[in-house]
Amino acid sequence: MSGPDDLVSAALRARERAYAPYSRFQVGAALRTEDGAVFAGCNVENAAFPEGTCAEAGAIAAMVMGGGGRRIAEVVVAAEAKEPCTPCGGCRQKLREFGTAATTVRMVDAAGETVLLRRLGELLPDSFGPGSFMD
Ligand code: THU
């Protein structure tokens, strides 16, 4: 059965792979394309701090490498934090490239419980995207 739960499981599994020796803040992300394919990623930090990459970026890279459809229908972000771990500004824009305003972004804790549910359009209103260029 595919549904929110399998996406949550994928995000939790991805979180276990996080390479976060500097922040100790482990994040997993999983996304489902409109075709139903699931891709996941974790954060990968670097001794040169700004070179680290977020879990969402890893999941997007996996999706593109997967070679199938690239429309993102749903995203789950898994972390254990004082506040819901919403995607950073850069990742909101990265998700916008392949998602829509209706794409759901679910934040879950380390137990997989939902702590916040948003639409991408709420996280990044009035956004610039691939359709924004002049023809
Ligand atoms: N991080 C993510 O991977 N995704 C988010 O949504 C927020 C933050 C990572 C980046 C860095 O490795 C660590 O969490 C602390 O900011």
Q: Quick check: 1 pLDDT over 70?
A: no
The CB of 85 under 6 Å from ligand 1? The reply is yes
Q: How much is the pLDDT for 41?
A: 99
Closest-lying ligand 1 atom to the alpha carbon of residue 54 = 3
0.95 exceeded by pTM: yes
Backbone φ and ψ of 14, nearest 5°: -60, -40
Please state, in angstroms and rounded to a whole number, the distance separating the CA atoms of residues 94 and 91: 5
Active site residues per annotation: 56
Q: Which residue, judged by its Cα, is nearest atom 6 of ligand 1?
A: 87
Mean pLDDT on 96-123: 98
Instruction: Map tokens 């409109």 to a residue.
Output: 34
Ligand 1 centroid to residue 55 C-alpha, Å:
7
CA distance readout (Å), 118 to 4, 72, 76? 14, 14, 10
Q: How much is the pLDDT for 85?
A: 98
| Predicted confidence (pLDDT) per residue in 55-69, tens digit | 999 999 999 999 999
Q: Which residue, judged by its Cα, is nearest atom 14 of ligand 1?
A: 25
Q: What is the mean pLDDT of the chain?
A: 97
Closest-lying ligand 1 atom to the alpha carbon of residue 45 = 12
Instruction: Map tokens 């997967």 to a residue.
Output: 66
